[in-house]
Amino acid sequence: MSQSAARLVVLVSGSGTNLQALLDAVAEPAFGARVVAVGADRDGIEGLARAERAGVPWFVHRVSDFATRDAWDEALAASITEHKPDLVVSAGFMKILGPRVLTAFPVVNTHPSLLPAFPGAHAVRDALAYGVRVTGCTVHFVDGGVDTGPVIAQRAVAVEDGDDEHSLHERIKTVERGLLVEVVGRLLREGGTVRGRHVYFGSQRKDPQ
Ligand code: GAR
């Protein structure tokens, strides 16, 4: 990652509270990064309104506007490339990224469960339905699968009696925003190394026992 303010492109599909946490964090110069663009797969979302309010350029590519998924991937990769990011952050982006994006940039994703439990679009609902007493959030590098990339960091959140999907997701998101900001900051300041399934910050090279 670059020594000067690192360039982040953040991808969103919804309310964008994780994006907002990053926008708030980068307002502090010591964080060492700028959000240079926000991308979305749909119009009219609060995530884009947050970008607009912050004066950050944004772009939208809807899958349904393209003849093929590959054409969508190409358009998304082209828009991201224009902003020359050091890191792409998928923060509530509800589409599987294609090979053009994934081969061009390192991409981290935040997910509302303790992966590999409950991948996919309904992680909180699935955790509640399963009856787990502890769930949480995961920040991981994105590979070609559905929430299968190497885990960078995780934090646990207890399931309370009487939780519904909304209450549990809101509690997870409170923890998730802090974790995402911490992980992105550390990756930018210290660097990160992926060795197989394992991710290390900085120059640490020790294999797990
Ligand atoms: C977050 O909880 C994120 O982990 C989740 O969507 C929420 C977005 O919230 N993403 C997924 O479920 C992806 N599989 P936000 O729009 O308020 O940041």
Our mutation pick for probing the ligand 1 site, out of 20, 110, 124, 126, counting the most ligand atoms within 8 A of Cβ, is 110
Considering the four listed CATH numbers 3.40.190.10, 3.20.20.70, 3.90.1150.10, 3.40.50.170, the one that applies to the domain covering 1-105 is 3.40.50.170
180 lines ligand 1 (CB under 6 A): no
Q: 113 CA to middle of ligand 1, Å?
A: 10
Q: Which CATH class is domain 109-209?
A: alpha beta
Write out pLDDT tens, residues 63-76. Answer: 999 999 999 999 99
Which of helix, strand or coil describes residue 94?
Answer: coil
176 lines ligand 1 (CB under 6 A): yes
Which ligand 1 atom is nearest residue 137's CA?
4
Q: 94 CA to middle of ligand 1, Å?
A: 8
Write out pLDDT tens, residues 175-197. Answer: 999 999 999 999 999 999 999 99
Distance CA 173, CA 141 (A): 19
79 lines ligand 1 (CB under 6 A): no
Strands 87-91 and 107-111: parallel
Catalytically active residues are 111
Tell me where in the chain the CATH 3.40.50.170 domain(s) lie: 1-105, 109-209
Please choose, from the candidates 40, 84, 32, 37, the residue with its C-alpha nearest in 3D space to the C-alpha of residue 61: 40
112 lines ligand 1 (CB under 6 A): yes
149 lines ligand 1 (CB under 6 A): no
Note the pLDDT of residue 206.
58
Each residue's pLDDT, cut to its tens digit, for the chain (209 residues) gives 445 899 999 999 999 999 999 999 999 999 999 999 999 999 999 999 999 999 999 999 999 999 999 999 999 999 999 999 999 999 999 999 999 999 999 999 999 999 999 999 999 999 999 999 999 999 999 999 999 999 999 999 999 999 999 999 999 999 999 999 999 999 999 999 999 999 999 876 655 54
